Amino acid sequence: MPGRFKEPEPPHISPTLSGKLYRKEYQIGSTRTKAMRDRKSQSPPLRRHVRNEIQRRILSGESLPGERLAQQSLAMKLGVGQGTVREALMELEWLGLVESTDGLGVFVGKLDTSRLVEAYVVREYLEGLAARSACGRVSQSNVIALRAMADRIWNLSEEGDLEEMGAVDRALHLEIVRLSRNSVLVRLAEGYWTLSMAIRASRDPRAVHSEHLRIVDAINRNAPDDAEQLARQHVLEARHMIELEAARNEFVPKWVMNERL
């Protein structure tokens, strides 16, 4: 029909050229598949596992301050790609456990008292805010669970199981942060979890138990001012104990190695 649009015929492609195009497309597809596998291998759970293992080596003293952390060597030992190790080291640098030097590599950081005290200062304000924010947002089952954890900490101290006591204590504080329902606060808290919340301050277990119950009670009563003040004072007392022991040259970090995140 006159004036009707006629689609152009596809260009003729020789069998040889067609084969080349097919191989090229196959190569592109294979590259994309490999990239997808690489991204999958560096998934958050795997990266978290690698990060926790490197963190364990640092806190246990297996990797000493100033030691160079070679990505290739770690990747081979842990059976993962270097990209996964690199991302894990970046997270540990943000947490303050490792330090990166341009042109030289990544090294285990120096976990001195001043750095721990700095983490406690931040923790005091953020946990006060978490306790305040948790008011009016918790259920009775949340309160019962928090009280049970506080009692568990006390019982473990009586039994002399200090490792488990430290792990449950850490879990209690993390749960209060999570009950704030503030995702930004939870994210900010991650920066001090590894340092200030991974050590056990040498305090009287009876005083700690009493402080825990009063914080939970204030949250349950929906008393934000009391909850914030009590939470901040609780962290402040722990920091003062660390500073006092440091002044006497008696402070030795007691790391909580049981991962409950």
CATH number of the domain to which 100 belongs: 1.10.10.10
Residue 33 counted as domain residue: no
Show which of 74, 108, 142 is a domain's final residue: 108
Q: Are residues 52 and 153 in the same domain?
A: no
Domain end among 108, 127, 162: 108
**Residues 128 and 224 grouped into a single domain:** yes
Residue 206 lies in a domain: yes
Residue 17 lies in a domain: no
* pLDDT mean for each 10 residues of the chain (261 residues): 52 51 50 46 72 85 90 93 92 85 88 83 93 97 98 95 87 94 86 61 89 98 98 95 87 62 40
* 8 Å CB contact between 194 and 97: yes
Tokens of 57: 């080596």
For 152-175, give one letter per residue: b (16+ CB within 10 A) or e. bbbebbeeeeeebbbbbbbbbbbb
3 state SS of 42: coil
The whole domain housing 65 covers 40-108
247 within 8 A of 158, measured Cβ to Cβ: no
pLDDT tens-digit series, residues 101-127: 888 899 998 877 888 888 889 889 999
- The Cα 131–Cα 229 span in angstroms is 9
Number of structural domains the chain divides into:
2
Report the pLDDT value the prediction gives residue 261, as an integer from 0 to 100. 40
Give the end of a domain, one of 88, 108, 128: 108
Strand partners of residue 33: none
Are 61 and 183 found together in one domain?
no
239 located within any domain: yes
Burial class (CB within 10 angstroms; exposed 0-12, middle 13-18, buried 19+) of 246: middle
In a domain, 35, yes or no: no
Q: State whether 234 and 173 are in the same domain.
A: yes
96 and 162: one domain?
Answer: no
Same domain, 140 and 88: no
